[in-house]
């Protein structure tokens, strides 16, 4: 695998890296010269209908990064656990000696009508998606400030962080919350040349298979809600690599003057 080398000598910290977008991002950055600090919880969640990532999935990410010719420090850690997450990041920075890019990607999703979401489902969604993103940034920012060379952070939001997507009130709340967090941090960190942006994908072909939750709801309410899900471009689903390309660009010098940006990768869905 070859790349442009635009991240040569740099280190990227990626959460949710065992599969899907996180794995694609790890491979993308590695193919362009970066070493990787990878984290994933590698566990099941109480509220999701799809299987969680496994240690074998994370090991495959390790293999692919090494196949791309780069080094990787991969840890099983939960982004909800600030101390454990911080220890995983320290293991990586101790090994590589620096930090340049932070991709807060870990997240979960379930589909429910808003008033049918249980308190436990709501809390798990908030804890994983929003608190986990906050913990990732909180752990990484002191490294970037002390290093004194700037840096880039990208938080994975969603098209559901731009519009009121039906059946995902708890998920949408976290993804809108991520935007507020990123915009505030972009303002606070600008003086340190640390950029903070959000990326907003449409549906992505990953291990997060929502069909068991969403298909019955889509069938039941298609007569009133289906136009909300329409795309402007004639495509239906993204590949994880499509999102990784955009995240890498946001972290590169090609986007060095961009911060506080909400960047959709959604076939024009949020334009509807």
Q: Which residues contact 266 (CB under 8 A, 6 or more apart)?
A: 159, 162, 200, 201, 202, 231
Q: Which residues contact 17 (CB under 8 A, 6 or more apart)?
A: 23, 25, 26, 36, 38, 39, 40, 58, 61, 74, 105
One of 171, 221, 235, 257 is an active-site residue; which one? 171
CA separation for the pair 93, 152 (Å, rounded): 16
Residue that has been written with the tokens 């694609």 in this structure: 24
CA separation for the pair 187, 196 (Å, rounded): 9
Closest CA to 120 of 46, 171, 173: 46
- Spell 137-155 as b/e; 16+ CB within 10 A means b: bebbbebbeebeeebbbbb
Catalytic site includes residue 221: no
Phi-psi region of 53 (alpha: psi -120 to 50; beta: other; left: phi over 0): beta
Q: Which residues contact 66 (CB under 8 A, 6 or more apart)?
A: 72
> Which residues lie across from 115 on neighbouring strands?
none
Residues with catalytic function: 171
């Amino acid at each position: 695998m070859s790349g442009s080398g635009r991240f040569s000598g740099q280190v990227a910290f990626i959460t949710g890296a065992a599969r899907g977008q996180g794995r694609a991002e790890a491979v993308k950055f590695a193919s362009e010269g970066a070493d990787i600090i990878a984290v994933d919880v590698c566990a099941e969640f109480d509220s999701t209908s799809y299987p969680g990532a496994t240690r074998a999935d994370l090991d495959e990410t390790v293999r692919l990064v090494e196949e791309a010719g780069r080094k990787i420090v991969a840890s099983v850690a939960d982004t909800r656990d600030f101390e454990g997450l911080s220890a995983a990041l320290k293991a990586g920075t101790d090994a590589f000696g620096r930090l340049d890019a932070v991709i807060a990607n870990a997240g979960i999703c379930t589909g429910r009508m808003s008033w049918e979401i249980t308190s436990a489902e709501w809390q798990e969604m908030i804890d994983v998606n929003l608190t986990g993103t906050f913990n990732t940034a909180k752990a990484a920012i002191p490294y970037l400030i002390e290093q004194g060379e700037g840096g880039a952070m990208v938080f994975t939001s969603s098209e559901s962080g731009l519009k009121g997507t039906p059946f995902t009130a708890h998920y949408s709340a976290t993804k809108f919350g991520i935007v507020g967090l990123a915009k505030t941090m972009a303002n606070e960190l600008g003086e340190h040349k640390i950029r903070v942006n959000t990326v907003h994908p449409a549906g992505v072909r990953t291990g997060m298979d929502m069909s068991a939750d969403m298909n019955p709801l889509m069938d039941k309410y298609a007569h009133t809600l289906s136009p909300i899900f329409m795309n402007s471009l004639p495509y239906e689903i993204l590949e994880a690599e499509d999102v990784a390309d955009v995240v890498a660009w946001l972290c590169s010098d090609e986007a060095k003057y961009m911060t506080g940006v909400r960047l959709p990768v959604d076939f024009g869905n949020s334009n509807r």
